[in-house]
Amino acid sequence: MLSAAHDILESKENSTDAIDTNSTNTNTSYHLVCNPISTGAILLADILPTVIIKLTAPFYMQKIPYNIRVRLVCLFAAGSFIIVALSKNLGLSLFGVVCASLSSGFGEITFLSMTSFYNKKVVSTWSSGTGMAGLAGALSYVGLLSAGLTPKNTLLLMLVVPAIFLLTYELLLYKLHNVSRYRAESSLILPTEENAAENSPFLFDDDIDNDIRQERKSHENIVSLFCTNARLIKGLILPYMLPLAIVYFAEYFINQALFELLQFHSKLTFSEQYRWYQALYQAGVFISRSSVNLIRIRYLWLMPVLQTVNLVLLLCQTFFHFIPSVWIVMILIAYEGLLGGAAYVNTFYSMTEEVPEENLEFCLGVATVSDSLGITIAGFVSLPVHNAICSRLR
C-alpha cells in the first residue's frame, strides 16, 4: 500500500501544486511537484490501526486460536485490495488502507509471537520473510505498472497473495492449530483453582464464603499479573523498544515526507522515481533482515544514530538540492533500508537470547509496538513538514 501511496493520492486528487524554485548549486530552474496531501496521510491510515492492535493484543491475543487469527489476517488483506482498487474517492481508499493495516498489525503480532514455540533462529527467517514481502510487493507493483497494467488491475491481481498466505498456513503450519492458546507457564496466563460450587445446584454459607475468597484471590491475581507485565514492559523500553522506535521514525519520515520531494529531471517520471525509491528501500530491508546469522549487531543504539544522520542529509537535499544525481539518492535510500532492517532483526534476535523463555512470547508481542509508534509519529510529523517545505519553496 505504501508503494502505491503516490498513485492513490494522484488518482483521487484533481490537481497538484507545481512549485518552481532555483537550485542552490546551479542556475537552472528546479521544478518541484507537490501533492496537496502528503503520502503521510496514507502512512497514518496504514499504521494507526496497527498501533491500536499492538497496544492491546498482548493482553487478549492468547485467547484467540491461531487458525482464527490467520483467517482474519487474510480477510482484511483481501478486503483492502478490493476496496482501494474499486474506490472512487480518497476517503474510501483510506478505509481500504486501514483494512490493510489491520491485516498487517494482527499478522505481525500473531506470527512473531508464534516464533517463541520454535528455535530462536526462526526469528531471523521470520525477519527475512518480512523483508522479502516488502521487496516482492514493491517490485511486483513497479513491474506490473511498467508492463502496462493500471494501478486498479494491479491491486486486484494482488488478491492471489492472501489466498496463497492462507493455503501456506493450512498446508505447512497446520500442526499449530493444536498449540494451546493457553501456553503453559505463559507470563500472561495465571492458573486458577476450580470452584466446586460452580456446578452445584445449591449454595450454602460455606460455598458463599468460598466464592468470596475465590473472587478476592482472582482480583489479587489480576493486580499481580498487571504489575508483573508492567515491570516486563519497563525493562524492554531502553535496550530494545526506544532504539527501534527512533529508527522507524527516521526512516518512515524519510519515506513518507521526503521521498515524493526528492525529485530529479531524468528518464524516470516523478511517480516512477517514487516507486523505485520504495523498491530500493525494501531491497535494503530484505538484505539486512536476512543477514543476522552472518552479521550480528549487538549495539542496538548504533542504527538510530546512523538513521538520524540519513534523515538530516535527505532533508537538506529537499531544500538545497546539492546531490546532483537521482542515482546517488537511490544508493542512500537502499542504505536507509539496510539500517532499518538491521535494527528490526537484531532487536528481536537479541531478545530471544536475553529475555527468559517464560516471558519471551509476551515480550516479543509487546516489543512490536515500538516500530509502530515510531511510524505513527513519523506520519503525524510528515504532514506539516511536507506542507512547510512546499510553502517555503513556493
CA distances from 250 to 133, 154, 277, 341, 374 (A): 21, 30, 15, 13, 8
Task: Return the C-alpha cell found at 270.
Answer: 516523478
CA distances from 62 to 172, 224, 291 (A): 21, 18, 31
* pLDDT digit string (tens) for the chain, length 394 residues: 666 666 776 666 544 444 454 444 443 445 677 776 666 777 788 888 988 887 887 677 778 888 899 999 999 999 999 999 998 888 898 899 999 999 998 898 888 778 777 777 787 788 788 888 888 888 898 899 889 899 899 999 999 999 999 998 888 775 554 453 444 444 344 444 444 444 444 444 555 555 555 555 555 566 666 777 788 888 898 899 999 999 999 999 999 889 988 989 888 888 889 889 999 999 999 999 888 888 999 999 999 999 999 999 999 999 889 999 999 999 999 999 999 999 999 999 999 899 888 888 788 878 888 988 898 899 899 888 888 888 877 6
Q: Which CATH architecture does the domain made up of 5-187+236-392 adopt?
A: Up-down Bundle (1.20)
- For residues 256-287, one letter each, b for 16 or more C-beta atoms within 10 angstroms of the residue's C-beta and e for the rest, the string is bbbbbbbbbeeeeebeebbbbbbbbbbbbbbb
Q: Where are the domains of the chain?
A: 5-187+236-392
Mention every residue, 6+ apart, whose C-beta is less than 8 A from residue 70: 107, 110, 165, 166, 169
Three-state DSSP class for residue 393: coil
Three-state DSSP class for residue 4: coil
CA distances from 227 to 74, 187, 192, 233 (A): 35, 11, 18, 10
